[in-house]
Every structure is written in structure tokens, then in C-alpha cells.
Amino acid sequence: MSASYERMNYITSFGFSKIWRHHCVNAAEIKQNSTVVDLMTGMGECWSPILKSIGENGHLIGLDFSSGMLKTAEVKKRKYPKHKISLLKENVFKNSIMDNSADNVISGFGLKTFSEEQIKLLSLEINRILKPEGSFSLVEVSVPNNKLLKFLYLIYLRYFIPVIGFLFLGNPQTYKMLGVYTSKFKNSNKAKEIFESNGFEVQYINYFYGCATGIKGVKK
């Protein structure tokens, strides 16, 4: 999936995935010279707005357990020679990032495959690595509340995206689960409840009529 992920995201979302990532990063209110952790960093799709915010004296830590994704991220890293970027091939729930070391934590489109228990573990891990008063921001593809939009959107995710995958990549199976995961995830409401119960002040965010949702918050 790593060979086509960024291109397919952009094409199938009509460019909205890039916009939503930028909004997600902006919601964290990242400051110059900050240390930012990008969990489930993938190929570094969130890096551009992060690096712009932290400047050349900041530190971006990208974490992912996919060798394929990180291989592409390593290539992207070379485009930013003046910035400090560290890549970790580790499990998001058990990693080597130090306690209370990050000013901000970001994650784009990493929630939908998680169970409620895993989201709880994620919230605890973000709480562990964030400094006091540090902020986080997460975004995920979601199911809109509007019944007509929900019907059309799920049809698009379940049936049209696999066809696009076949036309562009010759492999519809790679993207077939997107609709399944999104239907099960629904939106970020449960994530908001879980993060609130684990020591965060949390705000819920709607993107484009609920086609994506997110949460942002501050460690108390």
C-alpha cells in the first residue's frame, strides 16, 4: 500500500485529505522550536505544515511500524536537509519516546483501525509523551450525520475507491477495507470521551459536514 498511499489519498479525497491534514496540524497550535511527534507518520504527509511551524530549530519525530511507509518517509526526509527529523520504526503503543518530551503530538488518519481499548492505550501513550500543557490533534475519515450524504459517502468508500484502486494500480483489494473501517469507526466522538477520561481537555472538530472528524486537546 505504501507505494501508492499518498497519491491515492489525494485522488480519492479530491484533495481534501491534504487540506484536512493541514487543519489537523494547525489545530495543535504548534510554536517555533517545538518538539513534535507525528504518530503513525506514514510517508510524512503531515510534515510540511509541521516543519513550517517549528522552523529549523525544532524537532520532528515520526513514528510508524510499517517498513514500506518509512522507506518512503526516509526519501522525503532528504527534501528537508535543514530540519531535524528523526524516524522511529516502532509500535505506537510501546515506543522509546521519552516521558514528557513532546510539545505537540499529531496523527493523521490513524484511528479508524483501532478498537476502543486501543484508543484508550493511545490516549495514555500521548499523555505519557506530552509535556504538561502540551497539545495534540488527531483527524480521521468519518461517517457524516446527514442521511443522504452518509449513504452516498459510504457507497463511494466501499465501492468506488476499490475501482479507482484497480484502474490506477491494478489492485482493488488494497483499498477495499477503507469503507469497512470507516463504517465501524463512525466518527471521533468515542475518542473524545476516552481522551477526556484520561486527563485531557478536548475539543471535537467537524471537517466538511462530517466526512472527516477530529479531536484536539491539551494535557492538564
Q: Where are the domains of the chain?
A: 5-143+186-219
159's grid cell: 465501492
pLDDT at 4: 60
pLDDT single digits (tens) 173-212: 667 777 888 889 999 999 999 999 998 999 999 999 999 9
pTM score of the predicted model = 0.91
pLDDT at 179: 80
C-alpha to C-alpha distance for 220 and 200, rounded to whole angstroms: 6
pLDDT-derived band at 162 (thresholds 50, 70, 90) equals confident
Nearest to 213 by CA among 5, 42, 16: 16
For the cut 90, the answer to whether the pLDDT of residue 32 exceeds it is yes
Element (H, E) at 189: helix 189-196
pLDDT single digits (tens) 41-86: 999 999 999 999 999 999 999 999 999 999 999 999 999 999 999 9
Task: Please give the CATH architecture assigned to the domain spanning 5-143+186-219.
Answer: 3-Layer(aba) Sandwich (3.40)
Quick count: other Cβ atoms within 10 Å of Cβ 167?
9
The phi-psi region of residue 44 (left if phi > 0; otherwise alpha if psi is between -120 and 50; otherwise beta) is left
Nearest to 41 by CA among 3, 12, 83, 6: 6
C-alpha to C-alpha distance for 215 and 13, rounded to whole angstroms: 20
pLDDT single digits (tens) 119-160: 999 999 999 999 999 999 999 999 999 999 999 988 988 888
- CA 56 to chain CA mean position, Å: 23
Helix (H, G, I), strand (E, B) or coil at 10: helix
pLDDT at 2: 54
For the cut 90, the answer to whether the pLDDT of residue 116 exceeds it is yes
C-alpha to C-alpha distance for 4 and 42, rounded to whole angstroms: 12
Across the beta sheet with 35-39, what order do the strands follow?
Answer: 84-89, 59-64, 35-39, 102-108, 130-141, 212-219, 200-207
